[in-house]
Amino acid sequence: MELTMRVLVVDDNPKMTAAIAKGLREHGMTADECYTGFDAEDLAVSEPFDAIILDVMMPDSDGLQVCANLRRRKVSTPILMLTALSGTSDKVEGLDAGADDYLTKPFEFDELLARLRAMSRRGSPELGRRLTYDQLELDIDKRTAYRDGQKITLSNKEFGLLYHFMENPDRVLSRVQIVEKVWDTNYEPDSNIVDVYVSSLRKKIDKPFERQYIHTMIGYGYRFGSMD
């Protein structure tokens, strides 16, 4: 499936930028190449694009700042962030800056095309981005959860933890895996940081309701989902 789109490709690595642009053109798209955050911001404000592929790590102005600046300047063009960082906290930071999607390097080009197709279907970012599981909904833009219609306010770490759980439903996650994704740090065996935040999150999304979503897997970690 080919897309008729004009895409701005932003990466400080000319070879990477050229390779992505070449692939897009082979699929019927128009691709503009840019190598700095400052130039990308100027182009995105002054020219009409259907999507922006934006690298996070750039020497002059990082992609997160460029993304946040564009949103402040009312540029609603869908933005796909590229990064070598794969932790959930990195994804949350990108989404919080106003990005519509997030792709970790290295990636398959078919996945890049699939994500562009998905962004084109979703349309304007004003529509909002949400994760859902059963009666629980996580509004990524507002960093707020809703369960059975009730609004639940989350701290930054509670949001990151719930985001990670909802990205991995019905999977047993060890404390080490959770720390590496949500905290981006090495897990210390004597630390109870995961248990503290899980307890805090449970009080908000589970305790007031009959059905529980966060389950302790004794001797291993936690599982998010229904036990029915």
**So what's the pLDDT on residue 89?**
67
One domain for residues 197 and 108 = no
What separation in angstroms does the CA of 106 have from each of 16, 69, 89, 94, 101?
A: 11, 26, 19, 17, 16
Q: Span 133-157, mean pLDDT?
A: 87
Token couple for 53: 């592929």
DSSP 125: G
One domain for residues 109 and 49 = yes
One domain for residues 90 and 153 = no
Beta strands 101-104 and 130-133 are: unpaired
Candidates 73, 62, 66, 55; CA nearest to 11 is 55
**So what's the pLDDT on residue 96?**
77
The string of pLDDT tens digits covering residues 86-113 is: 666 666 777 778 888 888 888 899 999 9
**So what's the pLDDT on residue 204?**
96
121 pLDDT band (50/70/90 cuts)? Answer: low
**So what's the pLDDT on residue 189?**
64
Candidates 130, 202, 189; CA nearest to 163 is 130
Number of domains in the chain: 2
Task: Choose one of 108, 126, 144: the last residue of a domain.
Answer: 126
Q: Span 62-82, mean pLDDT?
A: 89
One domain for residues 142 and 177 = yes
Q: Is the model's pLDDT at 164 over the cut of 80?
A: yes
Q: Span 129-139, mean pLDDT?
A: 86
Spatial neighbors of 179 by CB under 8 A, at least 6 apart, are 185, 186, 187, 191, 193, 194
Spatial neighbors of 14 by CB under 8 A, at least 6 apart, are 35
Report the alpha-carbon distance of residue 171 to residue 167 in Å, rounded: 10
The string of pLDDT tens digits covering residues 35-65 is: 998 999 998 988 888 899 999 888 777 888 8
Host domain of residue 88: 6-126
Specify the CATH number for the domain of residue 59. Answer: 3.40.50.2300
